Amino acid sequence: MLAVIIVVIGAGSYVAAQALARPGGRPSHAPTGGTTGTSSPPRVTPSPTPPPHASGSLGDYAVAERRYTFTEHTGAALGDRVLVVSVRYPDVGRARNSGAAGTSQFPLIAFAPGYRQCAASYNDLLREWASAGYVVAAVNFPRTNCFDVNPNEADLVNQPADLAFVIQQLRRLSALPAGPLSGVISATRVAVAGHSDGGDTVAAMAAMSCCRYPGLRAAVVLAGAEWAPFAGHWFSSLTAPMLFVQGTSDAINPPGASLQLYQADSTGSRYYLQLNGAGHLTPYEGVGAPEPIVARVTVAFLDHYLAGDGATVGAMRHYADVAGVSKLVSDGRLP
């Protein structure tokens, strides 16, 4: 269908046009409730004897933040889809690591929150990613966000197209000659990440025939699953490198759902981070254990596959393999 796009940025706006295909409807799994709040300063969690690492470690950059509203007119079927996007990005004027100074263009991570969750629910994790040299854009989806009094989880099937639309608009902003994001985003280094239903969303963008995002460099699926109403085939062609993260005590999205995705992914590089005794929210929201492990392992994964900054896969294992707490496996092996 033809989608006429109006993007509102502060007091300015511009109009563009694009064709977007969206699949149709679905029923339910996910937590209720959401949190909102203001961003806190980036939290730097030191690790003993860290492995050699190129510039781009946690805390290398102070983090700036902007909020954008992108409105997509999709026609009668879906109407206007208003996407509120919180963008966290490295403040190049306040690089804390001398090796990071002078860098001006950064990889983009588009983040999808879970059902009845919002970008603010993940403030700490998203700011940590940005402090390591990434532009992180988190989307409040129009019909499943924490402010919606009558959410519709069936709308998840439309979320991959929402996230693709946001990526396109952010790349347009970066290509403009002026503005807060002018020249900030690398056009060729794009990853997606998401939690719960947001994990289902980004898994589909990486590996579902209906919803693949072309040129994707990496995907991080936090407590995700294969969402049945997506029309098409999973892992029918080569996929971008994928990292699946899962708590063993997650009662909302049980480990079997993440393991199903991980084991079905036989076409590309894939990793599975098991968090022993962890539930559905605490590994990704707030600062409590095991969130610091998730932050370090995801950054090491993104450094290797998205930034390509010389970091090794060994850095992932260094942070992930904590006796009795967490374990990283790869290539279909089980924890």
Neighbours of 316 (CB within 10 A): 24
* C-alpha distances out from residue 55 to 59, 96, 97, 103, Å: 10, 10, 7, 10
Contact 113, 140 (CB under 8 A): yes
pLDDT tens profile 247-297: 999 999 999 999 999 999 998 899 999 999 999 999 999 999 999 999 999
| H-type alpha helices, the chain | 123-131, 159-175, 197-207, 255-264, 291-302, 313-320
- What CATH number corresponds to the domain at position 244? 3.40.50.1820
Q: Is 150 exposed, middle or buried (0-12, 13-18, 19+ CB in 10 A)?
A: exposed
Domain count, the chain: 1
Given a cut of 70, whether residue 96 has pLDDT beyond it is: no
Specify if 40 maps to a domain. no
Whole-number Å distance between alpha carbons of 104 and 100 = 9
Specify if 309 maps to a domain. yes
Tokens linked to 80: 């206007």
Specify if 32 maps to a domain. no
> What does pLDDT average to over the chain?
84
Sheet holding 106-112, edge to edge: 12-19, 2-9, 61-73, 80-95, 135-140, 106-112, 185-195, 218-222, 242-247, 270-275, 326-330
Specify if 37 maps to a domain. no
Given a cut of 60, whether residue 222 has pLDDT beyond it is: yes
Specify if 19 maps to a domain. no
pLDDT tens profile 3-13: 333 333 333 32
Neighbours of 56 (CB within 10 A): 25
Q: What is the pLDDT of residue 185?
A: 95
Q: Is 141 exposed, middle or buried (0-12, 13-18, 19+ CB in 10 A)?
A: buried
Q: Which residues pair with 182 in a beta bridge?
A: none
User: What is the CA angle 302-304-307, rounded to 5?
Assistant: 65
Specify if 31 maps to a domain. no
Specify if 242 maps to a domain. yes
Q: What proportion of the chain, given as a percentage, has pLDDT over 90?
A: 73
Mean pLDDT of 36-44: 40
Whole-number Å distance between alpha carbons of 164 and 154 = 18
Between 74-83, 115-124, 184-193, the lowest mean confidence (pLDDT) is in: 74-83
Q: What is the pLDDT of residue 100?
A: 52
Q: What is the pLDDT of residue 184?
A: 94
Whole-number Å distance between alpha carbons of 316 and 311 = 9
Tokens linked to 302: 């993104």
Tokens linked to 252: 């909302």
Residue carrying structure tokens 């060994």: 314
Helix axes 123-131, 291-302, angle to 10 degrees: 40
pLDDT tens profile 134-186: 999 999 999 999 999 999 999 999 999 999 999 999 999 999 999 999 999 99
Specify if 72 maps to a domain. yes
Range of 118's domain? Answer: 2-12+52-330
CA R_g for the chain: 18
